Amino acid sequence: MKLHSTEKSITNSFIKRLLGVISVFLLTNIGVYGQLDSWLNNMQPEQNYYDIKYGMQEYLNSLEKTMDSAVFYAGDGEYKRFKIFESIWEPRVSPHGEFSKYYDAQEDYYKNLQDDYTFYTTASWHELGPKTIQTSGSKGIGPVEFVTFYDNGTTDSTFIMLTGSTLGGLFYSTDTANTWQSAGTDTWSQSGVSWAVFNPNNYRMWYVASSGNGASTEASWIGKLGGVFRTNDEGQSWDTIADYHDLGGSYFTKIFKLLINPNNPDILFVATFCGLYKTNNCNSSDPGWTKVLDGFIYDLELKPTNDSVMYASIYDSSLDRWLIMRSENYGGALTWDTLSAQPEYLSDSIVRHQHITIEVSKARPDYLYCFTRDSSSHTLYYTEMDIHFNWHKIVSFQDKYGYGSGHGFGVEQTGNGDTIMVSHKFDCMKYNILTGTGVSCVNVHDDTEDIVFHPYNSGEVWACTHGGVEKIINYGNEFKNRYNGLGVGQIEGFTTSYTNPRYILTGIYHDGSQITTDPYQQNWNPQWKHVFGGDGMKPVIDNLNTNRMYASAQYGSWSYTPDLFNSYESIYGNNSHFLTIGVLNKENPIVFFKSQYDPEPFENIFRNSWDASIGEGKISEFQNVFTYAELIITIGLYTPFNDGDYLLANLKTIDSNATSHQTMESFHLMRSVNANSMDTLEVLWEELTIPTNKRNIAGVVFDPGNPDKIILAYTTQTINSISDSLIFKIDYSNPNDPIFEPITYNLPITCVNKNCITVDKFSDGGIFLATEYGVFYTDNNLQQDTLNAWQLVGTGLPHVRSTGLEMSYPSNSLRVALFGRGIWEMPFPCPYDSVPLSINSDTTWNSPITMDRNLIINSGKTLTINSQGIIHLPTDAKIIVKPGGKLVLNGGTLSNGCNGLWQGIEVWGNPEATQIPANQGWLSISNGGTIENAEVAVRVGSEDYTN
């Protein structure tokens, strides 16, 4: 079945007019292929995001017509990569489209502004993962790009390793990858890295390329603050030894590889898109850099027995082709020669699908091996350089899927040096170079980015996949994951249980949906279990019954479980655009709202009811509202906790009559106040006036006490007028005359991604906002001082874009999702009020409650806690049942509300009096009632009654 058909209809008159100019320029300069990397690798400061976006849409529309849909939409193909690029960069540069403004604001914050902010709390953020997994079920955590050994010439040295993610940063292992730990790049201005090498004489000294935070699995622009960094204390401190001034002068430079001379570790090479740079003093305080080779340098190697000989694979724009070049003078300037014979002609500059990876082997030091990669055709070669120079073709094969975009090619370093492995479709292939015979090797996870043969151990190979680092035994006969500690999950969305702190459900790009499995405790380090496939999106958990959950994947796929994913059923329906959007009616969570195509390409809202208590089906006809629209996409759905009839839909429309990109896209907030009408045709919608409909809406949250009031955050801000504020309080009590209150105040110029705003319902108007610079907080009291209204929350959060933010009331903590660094938590101080809550009349609790004090049940009164009542108590709190009082735990739960244990229940009475209700306190537990996480669950008698 065809999964999805998307923006194919956008080849309208506007797109054709707009692309007429763009295409002439770009196709003249980069050949006949219009893929994403062609634009990104030819970036100039004046290039606009929207030129790339609309050019890619035109290209993808053409590509979809000629490609099998399963290939077009699956894996790490062009369509998904573009959608990830769009999701990363549009929030950063909308609506102006100027990349330089983003980098200017980033530089200003880190150099001038960050020290000006007050901390609301300086507590440390704590990493939750996924970074450890159960051996069964999960096949991955997230993509990594390279793996490298410390090698001082001995086998024993190689137990020390580095690996890295272009979004998540650098990780370090001192036990041969059995465990990994973050290696100090989290709080760089851009956490992502594209390559790293050891100083061969000092395992504590590393050189790392800060060239990430762009797309999902490849090097990105270094910006104004990236470049090459050095540490001499295992990542505790860093020095910048090359920035964009040193590497060609453009912050659109990308770094693809670092290479250090093992015999002279003062010499370091940096392979970039704009040339090969060399320093002879990489360990000095101010290394000097020289450009020694012009062109796009993709790969580098040193001859194993003669470090004066270097090889480089480059794209020469003057010749419009890929080449292999050689230097016999330590890679010095003006000493590079083009090999007299070259592999087959590759005519395009696209990094992802057209490049040459080269390798050398200690076992055959006179050999040079290469892997040429075309859009779908791949060929392996070797040549014996010092005897007769010609290329021997090992094998050619087709790979229309094109998964894995890195240096996915490795050569045996021991024995005969005649075994190679290469990325092949989803997995790897092993070949003998002399016979050309190949054997398929099945990875633990799909999509191979790097393959490295161990320098000393025969048969041992290491791979980087979109799941993490994998150890390959016996040349591919067995793959073992080595993911433990690799917190590189690219979280698309997550949700935390409203009633039980132990459950977090998350959707991960590349790695499906995963759920925590361990009981919650202080300094929680949970394991995660894979529960649903596909590329995960934002899931949903029932706020009254945690057992009921919904996991999602791209293009509209959902699965539903009534039992914590011990079992589940798939919910497909019609497909959706790239995003999969759904939300529950929080007053009656048996009702589920989701967005899907009907009719394509217009998304509408559908309602499901698992107990058939309400009519099911489509409850909107947005195409009749936006009659000009050629495409309608749902960006978000939102419901309040206190009125199940309210439903908000955040929409994007494409105007087929637009004359510029500024007018082509519009954003709208639609509201229904009767979303639960039994008849689906009676559900009514109105468009709410918003401050501007020309900027993306990042998120909406309801005021906890009034569903007519919301807080709305845009993805970006400009400084032209009040309407360009980043965040607003809006009162829609009179929807025809809404009240807008901009509350941006002292926030930096930054970007906010979807679902990155939440409120604290127990505070005085508390609002949390997640940005690339960290999480900020404000409330009604702080807003009295506009210069200090927003304050930073917590320390140590990686500088990776956020994709979700939620309060966990049961654990009294804040949780944030990062695209490239998983889920993080920051506990708040445990609240405690010395004035107890007294039960002075018969009372029943049927919903979750978070307490901040002792609870006293007085004589003659009964408190009943039913199955939906989950009561969380702070560390110092207890429940006292006085003589004559009664506590009935009828299926309800009493649990802790902070990291520590609560004190438990005291049932007071007189052992010398008769055992009748008037003389004694009573506790009744039935129907699965639970007391958990208490110092002493039940104490009969007061704490000072010694007998």
Q: Would you state the structure tokens that stand for residue 50, as one six-digit string?
A: 């929207």
Would you state the pLDDT for residue 30? 32
Strands 727-731 and 706-714 turn out to be: antiparallel
Question: How long is the chain?
Answer: 947
CA distances 559 to 133, 546, 597, Å, are 21, 15, 18
Q: What gap in Å lies between CA 467 and CA 475, rounded to an integer?
A: 20
Q: What gap in Å lies between CA 749 and CA 92, rounded to an integer?
A: 10
Strands 119-124 and 791-795 turn out to be: parallel
* Partner residues linked to 632 by β-bridges: 602, 653
* DSSP alpha helix (H) spans, 380-464: none
Q: What gap in Å lies between CA 344 and CA 371, rounded to an integer?
A: 11
Q: Output the DSSP codes for 285-313.
A: SS---EEEE-SEEEEEEEETTEEEEEEEE
Evaluate whether 851 touches 871 at the Cβ level (below 8 Å): yes
Would you state the pLDDT for residue 720? 56
Evaluate whether 654 touches 10 at the Cβ level (below 8 Å): yes
Peptide bond into 601 cis (omega under 30): yes
Would you state the pLDDT for residue 32? 28
Evaluate whether 372 touches 322 at the Cβ level (below 8 Å): yes
Evaluate whether 448 touches 404 at the Cβ level (below 8 Å): yes
Would you state the pLDDT for residue 850? 84
Exposed, middle or buried: residue 613 (CB in 10 Å: 0-12, 13-18, 19+)?
Answer: exposed
Q: What gap in Å lies between CA 778 and CA 454, rounded to an integer?
A: 52
Beta-carbon contacts of 944 under 8 Å, excluding residues fewer than 6 positions away, are none
Q: Characterize 728-742 residue by residue with b for buried, 16 or more Cβ atoms within 10 angstroms of its Cβ, and e for exposed.
A: bbbbbeeeeebeeeb
Q: Output the DSSP codes for 319-349.
A: TTEEEEEEESSTT-TT-EEE-SS-SS-----
Would you state the pLDDT for residue 70? 62
Query: What residue ranges in 556-643 does DSSP mark as E strands?
Result: 557-561, 569-571, 582-584, 591-597, 603-609, 617-618, 629-638
Q: What gap in Å lies between CA 420 and CA 397, rounded to an integer?
A: 15
Q: What gap in Å lies between CA 355 and CA 314, rounded to an integer?
A: 8
Nearest to 266 by CA among 285, 282, 290, 286: 282
Place of tokens 């150099």: 111
Q: What gap in Å lies between CA 249 and CA 809, rounded to an integer?
A: 49
Q: What gap in Å lies between CA 491 and CA 480, rounded to an integer?
A: 24
Nearest to 479 by CA among 489, 491, 469: 469
Exposed, middle or buried: residue 452 (CB in 10 Å: 0-12, 13-18, 19+)?
Answer: buried
Nearest to 509 by CA among 482, 539, 534: 534
189 Rama sector, left if φ>0, alpha if ψ -120 to 50, beta otherwise: alpha
Evaluate whether 529 touches 514 at the Cβ level (below 8 Å): yes
> Distance from CA of residue 694 to its chain's centroid?
26
Would you state the pLDDT for residue 116? 93
Evaluate whether 391 touches 383 at the Cβ level (below 8 Å): yes
Nearest to 412 by CA among 433, 389, 435: 433
Nearest to 601 by CA among 3, 6, 2: 6
Query: pTM of the prediction?
Result: 0.88
Q: At residue 439, what is the residue type? A: V
Q: What gap in Å lies between CA 823 and CA 530, rounded to an integer?
A: 15
Q: What gap in Å lies between CA 261 and CA 304, rounded to an integer?
A: 10
Query: How many other CB atoms are found less than 10 A from the CB of residue 683?
Result: 23
**DSSP helix, strand, coil percent of the chain (3-state; round to 5):** 10, 40, 50
Q: Which letter does DSSP use for residue 350 in this model?
A: -
Q: Would you state the structure tokens that stand for residue 432, as one six-digit string?
A: 């003998």
Nearest to 642 by CA among 591, 593, 704, 696: 704
Exposed, middle or buried: residue 305 (CB in 10 Å: 0-12, 13-18, 19+)?
Answer: exposed
Nearest to 935 by CA among 907, 908, 895: 895
Q: Apex CA 300: angle with CA 299 and CA 306, to 5°?
A: 160
Stretches where the chain sits below pLDDT 70 are: 1-42, 44-45, 69-71, 73-77, 133-138, 214-217, 345-353, 375-376, 387-388, 400-406, 572-574, 612, 659-663, 718-723, 943-947
Q: What gap in Å lies between CA 185 and CA 130, rounded to an integer?
A: 18
Beta-carbon contacts of 30 under 8 Å, excluding residues fewer than 6 positions away, are 38, 39, 42, 348, 349, 350
